[in-house]
Structure 1
């Protein structure tokens, strides 16, 4: 199954982008190949740009406080596993403290490194990171893989509290909805949202279905058009019926 997610607020959109960047960084940094480490470093620069939003830290702190209050009220509930609840509350508290104690903008440690900023500036130029442009970076890429991996993890470390908070908020958001099985015959799905007010819409399709959903939505209406995967004209998939799971998620 493949999950397609559509955020209905800029805040959730930012969290999804950060989650994607963290996952991409992990994939690149785990490889010993210097080209993979180059991609990991560029991903760090993207991460810092996305996380530099002035209200990101305050938004996450407020949401963690709200979720802590909601979950704390479930203590003693016979339908809730106490150990799991306490584990989630401890994770929320740890992430909250980490963000609260973090000075300045997220990713500031990268901006204060002149060497890294030189690399970032050259990266914006097509083909601008050859050895004759950045000999010191060329030298870094020829250091032992373990040394480069350790350095990448050091640059990532100040993002750890933000990453923990993103994982908690998105995890709770995704768990808030129940999938509903839907069916379309003409490649189009439309639905009034009424008072649902979702923050995230998830569409789940079987990976053997050669179609992808184009989702558009606001607080009143949801439209999904299923189009063929890959290149070519983006016409609706009308040749076959489509079954999919639809989930509305709200914190």
Structure 2
């Protein structure tokens, strides 16, 4: 989720493959949802590309089971927090109920998980050309060119149908990431000489995702690496696009949230 503001630039880094998949799906969901609301054909192209990338992720097969596992894990953790009186933003009864509802829904045979995307002939045709550079030009895919030339209202109807085809998956992904982000507030940190490191004790909850933000006035770029046991952050600066990023050697103030719900 891009929550950059006029004051902060926010970075998110997943610490396991499941969280990486959820963040990629969220990126595609937001891209498609934003682009399809704009009338220009170039924006419809952007939305279609996001739908096809979503389809490619879904075709990996394990996405549904991974989403179910994540909702099941969150349901247990949220229930525990609710029963032990955690922080107000954690484990609310409404979140527990919503998590259980989504878990049941995603497990249903008729759940909206992108089936229409797989069955759509136009999307299949476009997808076949994705591996070719500029392979969706008008002379490559006249049917796609014709579709892009339709009135916006007709294009929107198709895009809305594609968007709705994974409505249950979309709701599950957005819920899982929202509660993960809300579970941990940002704290102020200092990277001495441009570097910061943290070891996670074995008896602590596994960190799912790292969220980092720096002020827009600072031009630093975080280079993040990590796993469940060790997180390392190194800050770089890149004066312009022609220059390779260089390590920073002064102290950097930043804010960090280690999301471990």
- Shorter chain as normaliser: what TM range? 0.7 to 0.9
- Residue 109 of structure 1 and its aligned partner are, at CA, apart by 2.4
TM-score (norm 1): 0.87
- Residue 105 of structure 1 and its aligned partner are, at CA, apart by 9.8
8 Å contact from structure 2 (residues 115, 166) kept in 1: no
Aligned counterpart for 1:209 among listed residues 218, 226, 236: 218
- Residue 55 of structure 1 and its aligned partner are, at CA, apart by 2.5
The verdict on how the C-alpha distance between 1:147 and 1:93 changes in structure 2, with shifts beyond 3 A counting, is farther
1:57 aligns with 2:67: no
Equivalent pairs, count:
248
Structure 2 counterpart of 1:236:
247
8 Å contact from structure 1 (residues 199, 249) kept in 2: yes
8 Å contact from structure 2 (residues 105, 111) kept in 1: no
1:221 aligns with 2:235: no
The verdict on how the C-alpha distance between 1:207 and 1:46 changes in structure 2, with shifts beyond 3 A counting, is same
Q: Any idea what the Cα deviations from partners look like across 1:121-174, whole Å, max 9, x if unmatched?
A: 123222222222222211111111111111101011121111111111111211
SS of the aligned residue for 1:67 comes to: helix
**In structure 2, what is the Cα distance between the partners aligned to 1:8 and 1:198?**
7
| Structural RMSD (CA) | 2.6
The verdict on how the C-alpha distance between 1:43 and 1:101 changes in structure 2, with shifts beyond 3 A counting, is same
Structure 2 counterpart of 1:144:
151
Between 14-23 and 164-173, the greater mean CA deviation after superposition? 164-173
1:27 aligns with 2:34: yes
- Residue 180 of structure 1 and its aligned partner are, at CA, apart by 2.4
- Residue 217 of structure 1 and its aligned partner are, at CA, apart by 1.1
8 Å contact from structure 1 (residues 184, 242) kept in 2: yes
Unaligned runs of at least 5 residues, structure 1? none
1:249 aligns with 2:252: no
- Residue 185 of structure 1 and its aligned partner are, at CA, apart by 4.0
- Residue 235 of structure 1 and its aligned partner are, at CA, apart by 1.3
Structure 2 counterpart of 1:135:
142
**In structure 1, what is the Cα distance between the partners aligned to 2:154 and 2:15?**
41
Structure 1 counterpart of 2:3:
none
